[in-house]
Amino acid sequence: MSNALGATTSAGPTVFVVYGATGDLAKRLVMPGFAALAAADLLPEKWILIGSGRRAQPVDAYREHVRAGLQEFGKVGDEVVDSILPGLRFAGGGFTADDPGELLDAVRDARAEIGEDAQLVHYLALPPSTFQDYTRAIAAHGLAEGSRVVYEKPYGTSPESFEELDQLVQSVFDEQQVFRIDHFLGKEATQQLHVLRFANRMIEQLWSNEHVAQVQIDVPEVLGVDDRATFYDETGATLDMLVTHLLQVAAEVALDPPADWTSDALAQAREDVLAKFRPLDPAEVVLGQGSGYQEIEDVREGSTTDTFVAAKVWVDTERWRGVPFVLRTGKKLAESHQHVTLVFKRPSNSPQKDADAAPETLTFTLSGNGSVFAGVTARRPGVSDDLVPGKLYLDLAELPNAEPLPPYAALLRDVLIGDRALFTTSDGLRDAWRVACPLLAHRPELLPYEPGTWGPDAAEEIAAPYGWLTEQHR
């Protein structure tokens, strides 16, 4: 199984090291992803997972911690949880360049148990501010050679910190060893974007500025920051979502046909088109902060962190020149959805004369298995000549044997087999930071909005003349 079309491979004996093993990210996403692989019988035949943490604790205590987390977030049965627990180990005492704590002994023992040549995978489920220290520690203790390393996002919190981190990482690892995770690229439905486009002539023929008037990438959320306030207040919607997920999805939409369907070619196509994204114009960006955000525990007093961003992005390629890509995301909005929508130009000889009529659209949902639907115009049956909107719909969950992996499970699987098609490259991230630079340097006024709304009213202008197409998605 792989994200590159037609590629199939499997992983040999593997030792996973999860740094930050008792933290929120490991509990909510990493270990549930691991459990989903176990449930799908996609783990290596021989594996051991070592949790690394600052405080020493008996392995049984760590196993019970993982059990409790999987019961809350894992969405797998007790029999799957029970099958995972014996493979878990714990290495306390922290891990620094000066002091490896218990980790070197744990790795040595694990390899003695499942094979001295077992692949070593480092997963940094940690705040981005710690990435450099842990990278140096991995190098200092001889754990870099031949291993793979997974970095969570954001990979840097500014263009300058990105360059500093990337220079260090490139000095320790070869690029093929590095997996910079972006779980939106791991979504089954995101992967469907290029498959449905290139495998269907009727879609591919419409995929350009000749036919498309606007592209909307819309990811509003009803949820707040929950217990991520400390992390979120250092990043906000721009760094947490725009520079990472939304620009990567936009590149997935905008890419030109890859040279072939290998992992490297697909990643290269996404990287090539990111290089053609125009830097953001702050005048075409709206930032907002939800009412009550500053009262959340662990949010800094007087915080200017944005919890909402809407932006217009331009792609300077022959295929997309002149078509605005409009991106929106925010916390505590009116509803949650994840949509990519192509808004089509009206045919020159259309019988639809109502200028305010709903435009023709093609929408891909990115949640779950995903779905695809086209907003079309039809004649109302009967004696009337009225033209009314309709919908053509495909639920991808109805495809034969449709059993999607959660995004983190899919990406963990790709790390195991060395498939980097759905991971961000160093050059691709550099271009994402380049696109964001003007916004970071000259932030527009932070506008207030009330929870349960669609954010600041000014954001409607970003999606003009169509507005954000929410009603048709229901």
Q: Give the pLDDT confidence of 224-280 residue by residue, as tens digits.
A: 987 678 888 888 999 989 988 899 899 999 999 988 888 788 888 989 999 999 999
Contact residues for 33 (Cβ-Cβ < 8 A; gap 6+) = 406, 407, 408, 409, 411, 412
3-class SS at 223? coil
Please list, in sequence order, all residues whose beta carbon lies within 8 angstroms of the beta carbon of residue 13, skipping any fewer than 6 positions away.
44, 45, 46, 47, 114, 115, 117, 118, 119
CA distance 418 to 10: 9
Confidence at residue 410, expressed as pLDDT on a 0 to 100 scale:
84
Per-residue pLDDT band for 350 (boundaries 50, 70, 90) equals: low
- pLDDT of 352 above 90: no
Question: pLDDT, tens digit, for every residue of 170-197?
Answer: 999 999 999 998 777 767 677 778 888 8
Instruction: List domains and CATH numbers for the chain.
Output: 14-180 (3.40.50.720), 188-473 (3.30.360.10)
Please report the pLDDT score of residue 1 as a whole number: 34
- What phi and psi, each to the nearest 5 degrees, are found at residue 277? -75, 135
Mean pLDDT of 318-337: 96
- Sign for the CA dihedral angle at 315, 320, 326, 329 comes to negative
For residue 306, pLDDT beyond 50: yes
Structure confidence at residue 6 (pLDDT)? 38
pLDDT at residue 319, rounded to an integer: 96
- How confident is the model over 189-210, as a mean pLDDT? 86
Strands (DSSP E) contained in 300-432 are 308-314, 324-330, 339-344, 361-365, 371-379, 387-395
Query: At which residue do the structure tokens 């029970």 appear?
Result: 82
How would residue 7 be classed by pLDDT, with cut points 50, 70 and 90?
very low
The better pLDDT of the pair 320, 384 is held by 320
- Among residues 245, 339, 442, 473, the one annotated as catalytic is 245
Instruction: Considering only residues 156 and 206, tell me which one the structure prediction assigns the higher pLDDT.
Output: 206
Q: What is the pLDDT of residue 4?
A: 45
* 373, β-bridge pairs: 363, 393
Mean of all residue pLDDT scores within the chain: 88
426-443 residue pLDDT tens: 888 899 999 999 999 999
> Given a cut of 90, is residue 154 above it in pLDDT?
no
- Does position 57 have pLDDT exceeding 80, yes or no? yes
- Residue ranges of the binding site: 20-27, 54, 153, 183, 187, 221, 240, 331
- pLDDT value at position 421? 77
Residue numbers in the known binding site for substrate are: 183, 187, 221, 240, 331
What tens digit of pLDDT does each residue of 392-401 get?
A: 777 777 776 6
Q: In this predicted structure, what is the pLDDT of residue 474?
A: 46
pLDDT by residue (tens digit) across 74-133? 888 999 999 999 999 999 999 999 999 999 999 999 999 999 999 999 999 998 889 999
Known binding site for NADP(+): residues?
Answer: 20-27, 54, 153
By mean pLDDT, which of 41-50, 240-249, 293-302, 401-410 is the weakest? 401-410
Q: What is the pLDDT of residue 402?
A: 63
Q: Is the pLDDT of residue 2 over 50?
A: no
Strands (E), 261-323: 285-290, 308-314
- 315: DSSP letter: B
* pLDDT value, residue 5: 40
Encoded tokens for 106: 């744990």
So what's the pLDDT on residue 391?
A: 74
Number of residues in the chain? 474
Helices (H), 154-285: 159-172, 188-198, 201-204, 229-237, 247-254, 263-274
**Paired strand residues for 469:** none
pLDDT at 45 over 70: yes
The pLDDT assigned to 8 comes to 41
Cα pseudo-dihedral 328, 331, 332, 333, rounded to 10: 0
Using alpha carbons, list the distances in angstroms from residue 154 to 159, 274, 445: 11, 17, 24
What predicted TM-score, i.e. pTM, was given to this entire model? Answer: 0.84
Q: Return the number of other C-beta atoms located less than 10 Å from residue 58's C-beta.
A: 10
Q: What angle (nearest 5°) sits at the alpha carbon of residue 377, between those of residues 372 and 383?
A: 135
Judge whether 141 counts as a catalytic residue: no
Residue 290 · residue 228 · CB < 8 Å: no
